[in-house]
Amino acid sequence: MIDVYSAATPNGHKVHIMLEECGLPYRIHHIDIGAGDQFKPEFLAVSPNNKIPAIVDPDGPDGKPMPLFESGAILVYLASKVGKFLGDSDRDKFTTLQWLMFQMGGVGPMLGQAHHFRIYAPEKINYAINRYTNETKRLYGVIDKQLSKNAYLAGDQYTIADIATFPWTRSWKNQGIDWDDYPHAKRWFDEISERPAVKRGVEVLANARKSLADDPKAKEMLFGTAQYAKR
């Protein structure tokens, strides 16, 4: 049974969806990132960057427990474990990894900043809002173009590149996106939303999710001095 340390956020959803897609048994441990659980020594021992998601697979490749943080690494690990969602040929695998890296290095960080400056920042800083909204639109444009030629991001198969990217596009409204501008991405989004494993994955820990809007303590934990204390 894989232990999953997580919350109902886009990076958490990636792993919840993947586990559901793979049919792997898992036990979920809620890390309340608004309450500061991510700074507890027992969580930092598995995830030293104080971020969810993290997993511990008691049955690692050498038979010993395998702890992992970083959602992209976890997706690659689980795909390798079950032999699915990475692509069949070496060419397919590298193409999948390419689009996974595009998500990890571009889509996640930039859409996250767009969300932050549009919704959470205490002051409206137009330069930051425009910078990250425009970058988000550019990235949706790249995705849309790729999906105009392919059913999925890495080609004709549903892979961990789709599993990594989809959860970030669920917050399209808060990122300033109008789906009418990205019809191919919308077709992909609608199709993935309907997958039974995706429907189950996005419900994991959904009840524990709290809005940050009126929660100054959570904002302090996520964006304030708590982040920068030496540990």
Rounded Cα distance between 5 and 55, Å, is 6
Cβ-based nearer residue to ligand GSH, 11 or 133: 11
Cβ-based nearer residue to ligand GSH, 120 or 148: 120
CB of 53 to ligand GSH, least distance (A): 6
Q: Is 78 in the site for ligand GSH (CB under 6 A)?
A: no
CB of 69 to ligand GSH, least distance (A): 6
Cβ-based nearer residue to ligand GSH, 38 or 96: 38
Q: Is 177 in the site for ligand GSH (CB under 6 A)?
A: no
- Could you say which residues in the range 204-223 bind ligand GSH, by CB under 6 A? 222
Give me the helices (H) in 83-159, please: 90-102, 108-115, 126-149
Query: Residue 41: how many CB atoms within 10 A of its CB?
Result: 7
Q: Is 51 in the site for ligand GSH (CB under 6 A)?
A: yes
Query: Residue 128: how many CB atoms within 10 A of its CB?
Result: 16
132: nearest Cα among 77, 174, 81, 194: 174
CB of 180 to ligand GSH, least distance (A): 28
The pair phi, psi for residue 154, each rounded to 5°, is -95, 10
Q: Is 118 in the site for ligand GSH (CB under 6 A)?
A: no
Q: Is 9 in the site for ligand GSH (CB under 6 A)?
A: yes
Cα–Cα distance list, 69 to 73, 114, 169, 214 (Å): 7, 24, 22, 29
